[in-house]
Amino acid sequence: MKNATTMLMENGIKPSYQRIRILEYLMSHRTHPTVAEVYNGLIDEIPTLSKTTVYNTLKLLIEHQIVNEILIEEKEVLYDVAEEDHGHFKCVSCGDLIDFNLNEAPPAVPTGFVVQSVHVYYKGLCNKCSGKQHKE
């Protein structure tokens, strides 16, 4: 995988110091961190960092499809570097969030996992909007 600076530039995003560090954090922490975790993970090395910048940067990365948001926690959004298709398994007992492969049919969860509910959602353009191709 390319380095953070290259990924930003290839997507037309000016690679500021904060943006590089936030994307690097996501690339090296594949634990679906929250905004707070990204912030806390960087604040020691970047004492001037603000949460607003973390929010702004994540929104920017999502708009450019470099990062996906995972809406599985009721209370806060998790973030994930966009890569191969994978699903997420959330344990309702311990709260762990585990990736699983989506390139098999049916998508296979690891051995020993008990699926209680399946949730699928797509995002894109509906039939009314796909003709216009314009957003907002």
When CB distances are held under 5 to 8 angstroms depending on the partner's kind, the choice from its own copies, DNA, none that residue 12 binds is: none
Contacts of 78 (CB under 8 A, 6+ apart): 32, 33, 34, 69, 70, 72, 97
End-to-end CA distance of the chain: 32
Residue 116 and residue 92 in contact, taking contact as beta carbons nearer than 8 Å:
yes
**Nearer Cβ to DNA, position 33 or 107?**
33
User: Which 46-105 positions form the footprint of its own copies (CB under 8 A)?
Assistant: 65, 68-74, 77, 85, 87-94, 96, 98, 100, 102, 105
**7: which DSSP letter?**
H
Interacting residue ranges for its own copies, rule: CB under 8 A: 65, 68-74, 77, 85, 87-94, 96, 98, 100, 102, 105-107, 109-132, 134-136
Interacting residue ranges for DNA, rule: CB under 7 A: 13-14, 16-19, 34-36, 46, 48-53, 55-57, 59, 74-77
